Structure 1
Amino acid sequence: MYSIGVDIGGSHITSGMFEHSNKKIIPDSLAYSKVNAHAPKDEILDAWSDVISKSISKKNVLEIQGIGIAMPGPFDYYNGISKMQNVDKLDALFGVNVRNELAARLAIDSSKIRFINDATAFSVAETQIGKASLYSRAVAITLGTGFGSSFVVDGQPVLSGELLPKGGFLYNQLYNNQFADDVFSTRGILNYYTALSSKSVQNVQVLCSLINDDPYVQPVFDWLGKELGKFLLPYLKKFNAEVLVIGGNISKAYSFFGPSVSKALPDIEIYVSNFGEEAAIIGSALLLDDAYYQELLPTLKVM
């Protein structure tokens, strides 16, 4: 069985064909494009459809099971309707039934297009076919332009309950009088570097390249690991988490901040995702496993 997995961000889209029997993405099916987050509705949807079409056409497969899409919120994942408004991205899609729009453009039954939150898609990949599948209770976080999180029990994301914050979201929790999203993200790291050094860099990748030449860089990563661990500790303890999975672009710098995270979280297994940037594609493609999707539906209805 084959399905298409799609990872949509505010300014990009990546898609690929997933082979369910081998649990792998077909490498030459991957397609990517930047997208103008402030473009009109049809320009955005046409760009998305074009990339998805490329993934479909790159492999000689008679039929795909459907399309799974990892999408940032706010979004009605059950009905496929965008709720993004005044968030400086994709505002033109507010109130649009993205499922129906893409179904018409791709000539596919709308029921075969399924949506999930992007951070949750990451956790689905990790807990269904990644190393976290060996654990009952997992927390997955993504570190990048924002701070994503998902709490999972026996492969099922959970959004409510006294053991976790509402929606499983950590980005909107306060830490040292700041939202966690403003601390454990690209802007938080770069702001801290500037505060220490009175210098600025373009992104975390550039910061990593300076690790051997700039005496301020390692202290920034030591700070990140220590503070991230201190922030996560009460949530992990309350949830009785057995494993913490870290993904997102900043996870590529784990060798720099990992030791301080481990020191702050000595009693929990921690690992960096092996799937890298393909995790959300895999997690969304797994939505086309009908049995798993039926189990997930109650969660998607309130996501």
Structure 2
Amino acid sequence: MSDYILAFDVGGTFIKSAALLASGELVPESVASYPAKASLGREELLGHLTELIWRQMGTILTGDPLARLHGIGYAFPGEFDYPNGISYIAGLGKFESLYGVNLKQEVTARVLADAAGLGKRLSPRFRIAFENDASLFALGEWKLGKARPYRRSVCLTIGTGAGSAFLDGGRLVSSGAEVPPRGWICFLPFGDGIVDQYVSERGFLKLAADLAGPAGAAEGFGIKGLGVREFGVKEFAAMAREGNEAARRAFDQFGRNIGEVINRHLSAFRPEAIILGGQISKSSDLFLGGILDVLHDKAMAIETTDDTSLSTFAGAAELLRLE
């Protein structure tokens, strides 16, 4: 009989999930992605979240009929009361029906109500925990990834926004003079706005649009008849790797922006390393040079993760261990 943890990385479009042994070892066949169904009503969405628990447990039970559920760890976007499991997401058009809902209580109640199924599969120490996705990514990177060799590091997830988490000896640091409130850099001032507007997918795409000129035409990138906004980061990365000079300039400036954010907002923490994750980190070969060109602390290591989701899953297991 083995105890397992279910990890869910909740996004607005998809919910990625995996099962891990309570010791933190991943069950490879359990890695899956499901529709988020974020626009459903309250009861339907809670039912969907419960169904995903059952589906993941079904995968575990196929290989281990005596498996017990030790805990569930959720990476959820903000605004969110993580210790108490209460969602305050609003104004995003996603998960609106869960505003003010205590997900920890609601999901636990649904699991316990299934007395003949999930309810009888729970270990005596079963619990549910919630945390920000960047924080779980950081815990996973410290447990199994690139942050492990360093006592102090900052983990950045760069995607639709700029996620951040500060680590000291494997512990999350979210308060104090050296870190921003909650350890979140996204709302800190930068340029003509805030960090989230620059160190993100939309921040990169704005750089590309600016390079294309006032009309936003793609002729500046050697493409006729299309607008820059019809392209994503992936397409620009392919162009840059093929030698497109305008695309390469966009990535270089994006890296410089990241480097300046590190100089301005992260250096007080004195990190030995910055760990980059998120979708845009897959193009880090194109913007690392820009970071290094402006970085004040030349001894600071800049690392990129191999798989953000796997680190987040490992972080969920670590979160439950630490609780």
- TM-score between both structures, scaled by the size of structure 1: 0.89
Corresponding residue SS for 2:104: helix
CA distance in 1, matches of 2:26, 2:231: 31
Contact 2:175 2:181 in 1 (8 A): yes
CA distance in 2, matches of 1:210, 1:105: 49
Q: CA deviation at 1:20?
A: 4.3
Picking from 105, 124, 128, the partner of 1:100 is 105
Corresponding residue SS for 2:148: helix
Matched, 1:123 2:141: no
Equivalence for 2:235: 206
The runs of at least 4 aligned residues of structure 1 exceeding 3 Å deviation read 104-111
Picking from 2, 5, 13, the partner of 1:3 is 5
Aligned in 2, Cα 1:206/1:50: closer, same or farther, shift over 3 Å? farther
Picking from 238, 244, 249, the partner of 2:268 is 238
CA distance in 2, matches of 1:53, 1:29: 12
Aligned in 2, Cα 1:96/1:121: closer, same or farther, shift over 3 Å? same
Equivalences for residues 256-295 of structure 1 within 5 A: 256-265=286-295, 266-289=298-321, 292-293=322-323
In structure 2, runs of 5+ residues without a counterpart are 113-118, 219-227
Please say which of residues 153-162 and 264-273 is displaced more in the overlay: 264-273
Matched, 1:31 2:32: yes
CA distance in 1, matches of 2:247, 2:35: 30
Larger-Rg structure:
2
Picking from 279, 286, 309, the partner of 1:249 is 279
Equivalences for residues 14-163 of structure 1 within 5 A: 14-21=16-23, 23-59=24-60, 60-61=63-64, 62-107=67-112, 108=119, 112-163=127-178
- TM-score between both structures, scaled by the size of structure 2: 0.84
Q: CA deviation at 1:234?
A: 2.8
CA distance in 1, matches of 2:51, 2:233: 30
User: Could you list the per-position Cα deviations for residues 113-143 of structure 1 after superposition, in whole angstroms to 9, with x for gaps in the alignment?
Assistant: 1111111111111122223122111100000
Equivalence for 2:246: 216
Q: CA deviation at 1:209?
A: 2.1
In structure 1, runs of 5+ residues without a counterpart are 294-303
Instruction: Compute the RMSD of aligned alpha carbons.
Output: 1.9
Contact 2:86 2:100 in 1 (8 A): yes
Which residue identity does 1:80 align to in structure 2?
G
